[in-house]
Amino acid sequence: MILLDSSVLIELFRAHDKTKTLFYKLAATENNFAISIITHYEVFLGSNDDQDSFWNDFINSIEILDFNLQTSNQAINIYKQLKKNNKLIDLADILIAATSISYKTPLATLNLKHFQRINDLEVVT
């Protein structure tokens, strides 16, 4: 399974040629994808009524990983480590990374600048 970051979904939605997207490239070798409940929130927060059907169809075809106590504890550890190193990133990115780590699944993202700061996170590009 690969956890998809919001950036991967947004690229897929916006691309005229879907074959050039990271999702399409990953789908050539992987067929098991998931998103964090945080990514679900981010996607629908930024969508409008015309886009909702696209997102509903896509999200209904993949697994949504919940944010639970284990994930929360992981997020706390990530936050404290990043703060200690003066390298904080957006809270949503911390929560998504925590989901990836706690569920032991690699994270596909186009936002390497933020996610590469997090120890123990396996990033797919």
pLDDT attached to residue 23: 96
Place of tokens 């944010």: 67
pLDDT attached to residue 75: 98
Close Cβ partners of 113 (under 8 Å, ≥ 6 residues apart):
none
Quick one: CA torsion of 58, 62, 68, 70, rounded to 10 degrees? -130
pLDDT attached to residue 125: 82
- Closest C-alpha among 64, 92, 88 to residue 1: 64
Could you give the CA distance from residue 96 to residue 115 in angstroms, rounded to a whole number?
Answer: 10
pLDDT attached to residue 8: 96
Could you give the CA distance from residue 57 to residue 72 in angstroms, rounded to a whole number?
Answer: 28
Predicted confidence (pLDDT) per residue in 41-88, tens digit: 999 999 898 899 999 999 999 999 999 999 999 999 999 999 999 999
CATH of 2-124 given 3.40.50.300, 3.40.50.1010, 1.10.10.60, 3.30.70.100: 3.40.50.1010
Give me the residue spans of the domains in the chain: 2-124
pTM of the model: 0.93
